[in-house]
Chains A and B, each alone.
Chain A
Amino acid sequence: MIQLNHASKSYGSKVVLQDICLNLNKGDVVGLLGPSGSGKSTILGLIAKVIQPDRGGCGTASDHIGYVFQDHRLLPWKTALENVLFALEATSDKSSQSNMKQRARKALTDVGLEKATHYFPKQLSGGMCQRVSIARAFAIEPDILLLDEPLSALDSSRRSSILADLKRMIRQRPDMAVIYVTHNRNELADIVKYTYEISGGQLLLADKSI
Chain B
Amino acid sequence: MTEMVTWTCTGCALLCEDIQVRVDNNRIEQVEHACLKGKARIFGCKHVAVPAVNGAGVSIDDAINEAARILKGAKNPLLYGWSNSTSEAQMAGIELARTLGGVLDSTSSFCQGITINEIIKGTIPSCTLEEVREQADVMIFWGANPMSSHPRHLSRYSYFPRGELRQRGYEEDRTAISIDVWQSRTAKICKDKFYRIPPGGDAEFMRGLMDGLSGRVPKLSFDFDVKRILELAAVLKKAEFGVIFAGLGLVYSMKEDFGLLSEFMDTLNRFSNYSLIPMAGHFNMRGFNQNLYDETGYIYRVKFVDGKAASGVEFSVVEQIKHGADAVLVVGSDPLASLPASISRRLKDIPVILIDPCMNLTSQVADVTIPCSTSGIEVGGTAVRMDGKSMEISPLVQGVNMSDEMVIKRIIEEVG
Do A and B come from the same complex? no
- A-side residues, CB < 8 A to B, are none
